[in-house]
Structure formats: structure tokens, C-alpha cells
Amino acid sequence: MNKWILGARPRTLPAAIAPVVVATALVGADFNWFRAALALKVAVWLQIGVNFANDYSDGVKGTDADRVGPVRLVASGLATAKSVKAAAFISFAIASVAGAWLAFLTSPLLILVGIISIAAAWGYTGGKNPYGYRGLGELSVFLFFGVIATMGTYYAQTEELTLLSFIVSIPMGALSCAILAVNNLRDRPKDELVGKRTVAVRIGDQNARRMYVALLALAHVAAIATLIPTTLLTLLALPMSLSISRQVLSGISGKELIPLLGKTGKLQMFFSILLAVGLGIQ
């Protein structure tokens, strides 16, 4: 597979696609396909940009030197740090163009949201004091790939924000956090050695596993909290959630956790489709 596709980490893209799908379904029959497409472009290229930025920053810091997970371009020597950094900036630029277009069609405030989002994407592992090294990664993911991505997409099409748009953003944020949580659980021993104080490092192995399960539970509870009967369709994803949870709680570690990253991404996509259908037929 092309090294740049590997570096973009396709398995993480459901975290970018799901909020746009759910928010557009919430808009209903009056959805604006063009604005939805622009929002999707922003979300996907921001996710790709984050992935390249993390690859670059962790690579130059040396924290990826002995990594269990997927191939990292800089650490493995497949690409130079300079080229990976450029790939991150190009990805952010593509997202910025789509975001600026959305802002032109709706509100200039979206430009500010975009600037903050890109700054957060870079600051996760970049700079002298990356917040991802201090256990704030999950909170950032919940906000940017859950609340902001979902409510932002909804606002871009309706030019209004509602309580319901916030409630449906919670499962998106929780499941995006779950992707990061299983990633950090896998890397916990190595991260602890290099001083990367993720939530998994801070709270320990067993609590990190319980947190993962709690995030999946939160997604299901939030879907029910919409009080829309048709969103109970999300319960069809419950067997998948239980299966993955059992695997996480079984104590598997290291390379054994790698398949669960993809499974969690698939769960988010399946869950978001069910939630979108439930919102669409209400």
C-alpha cells in the first residue's frame, strides 16, 4: 500500500465521517448537499492532517522509535520529517479552503472555529508543550470530533444550533474518544517509558479499559436520551459494542489490541448510520 495512504491512517476516518452523516440526517429533508459535502471535506482533511501532524511530531521527538501500532512514516524512515510535515500542512490547507467556503456561505465565525481546530490539531503532539502528552487528548477529541464537528455541520446547513444537535454530538464524541482510548491503551507501556502522560498512563491499565467500555455505554445512552423512538435502532449496534468491550476487558495488550482500533472505527460508522436512519425517519 502507498506509504502516504498508510500515513493518513484510513481506519481513523470514520471519526471524521460519522458526525457529518448524523448531523445531515438531523437536518432532514431540507439538507443542503453542497454544504454537507464541504463539511465532510473539512472533517476528513482535518483528520488526515492530524494523523500526519502526529506522525511528524512524535517522530521528531523520538516517541515513536519503538512502537507497537501501525507504521509511522517518520519513525520507520519511510518518509522524511520535512515531507510528513508538509503533508500535514497541505491537508490543513485543503480543510481550510473548504471551511472558508462554508464560512462565506454561512457565518465568519466558522473561520475562527477552523483556526482553533487546526491549532488544536497541531498542538496535540506538536510544539514544546503538547497537550496530548498531558492527558488532554480525549477531551480534545470529544470536543472537536464530536461536539464541534456535529454541531458545526448542523449549523452550516441550518444556521442555527439546537439542544438536539448537541445531544446527538455526544455519541460521536464518545466513539471518537473510544478510538483514541484503545490506541492509547495499546501504547500505554511505551508511552509511559518516554514520558507521554496520556489518560491511559495516568489512570492505569484496568481503569483505561473500564473507561473505554464507559465511552461505548455513553454513546448508547446518549442516543436513547434523544427521546426519539426511532433512534432505538442504535441498539442494533449493542452486540458489537459488547463484543469489543469483552475483548478489551479480557486483558489483551500490545499487538492484540491493534484489530480493535479498526473494529471501533467500524462500530462508530455502523452506529452513526443507525442513528442517522433513526433521525431521518422520525
54 lies in some domain: yes
68 lies in some domain: yes
What is the C-alpha to C-alpha distance for residues 202 and 192, in angstroms, rounded to an integer?
A: 9
Closest by Cα among 135, 138, 136 to 202: 135
Name every residue whose Cβ is closer than 8 Å to that of residue 171 and which is 6 or more positions away in sequence. Answer: 22, 218, 219, 220, 222, 223, 234, 271, 272, 275
What is the C-alpha to C-alpha distance for residues 59 and 75, in angstroms, rounded to an integer?
A: 5
113 lies in some domain: yes
Closest by Cα among 245, 197, 194 to 219: 245
Q: What is the pTM of this model?
A: 0.89
Confidence band, pLDDT 50/70/90 cuts, at residue 66: low
What is the C-alpha to C-alpha distance for residues 270 and 87, in angstroms, rounded to an integer?
A: 29
User: Residue 276 above 90 pLDDT?
Assistant: yes
What is the C-alpha to C-alpha distance for residues 35 and 157, in angstroms, rounded to an integer?
A: 6
User: Residue 101 above 90 pLDDT?
Assistant: yes
pLDDT in tens, 5-24: 887 888 788 889 999 999 99
What is the C-alpha to C-alpha distance for residues 182 and 267, in angstroms, rounded to an integer?
A: 13
What is the C-alpha to C-alpha distance for residues 146 and 135, in angstroms, rounded to an integer?
A: 18
197 lies in some domain: yes
Domain extent, residue 42, equals: 14-280
User: Residue 96 above 90 pLDDT?
Assistant: yes
The answer to whether the beta carbons of residues 265 and 14 sit under 8 Å apart is: yes
What is the C-alpha to C-alpha distance for residues 134 and 147, in angstroms, rounded to an integer?
A: 21
1 lies in some domain: no
Residue 67: the pLDDT is 59
CATH at residue 20: 1.10.600
Residue 128: the pLDDT is 76
5 lies in some domain: no
Q: Which range has the worst mean pLDDT, 55-59, 112-116, 118-122, 257-261?
A: 55-59
How many domains, in total, are found in the chain? 1
What is the C-alpha to C-alpha distance for residues 170 and 201, in angstroms, rounded to an integer?
A: 24
128 lies in some domain: yes
23 lies in some domain: yes
User: Residue 126 above 90 pLDDT?
Assistant: no
Residue 243: the pLDDT is 96
Instruction: Return the ∠ at Cα 213 (arms to 255 and 174), rounded to 5°.
Output: 100
- Number of Cβ within 10 Å of residue 36's Cβ equals 19
pLDDT in tens, 183-205: 889 888 888 877 778 889 899 98
Determine the angle formed by the axes of helices 149-158 and 33-61, rounding to 10 degrees. Answer: 150
The answer to whether the beta carbons of residues 246 and 212 sit under 8 Å apart is: no
Closest by Cα among 117, 126, 123, 121 to 147: 117
pLDDT in tens, 200-250: 989 998 999 999 999 999 999 999 999 999 999 999 999 999 999 999 999
C-alpha cell at position 173 = 464524541
CA atoms within 13 A on the CB side of 21: 20
pLDDT in tens, 257-273: 888 988 998 999 999 99
Confidence band, pLDDT 50/70/90 cuts, at residue 147: very high
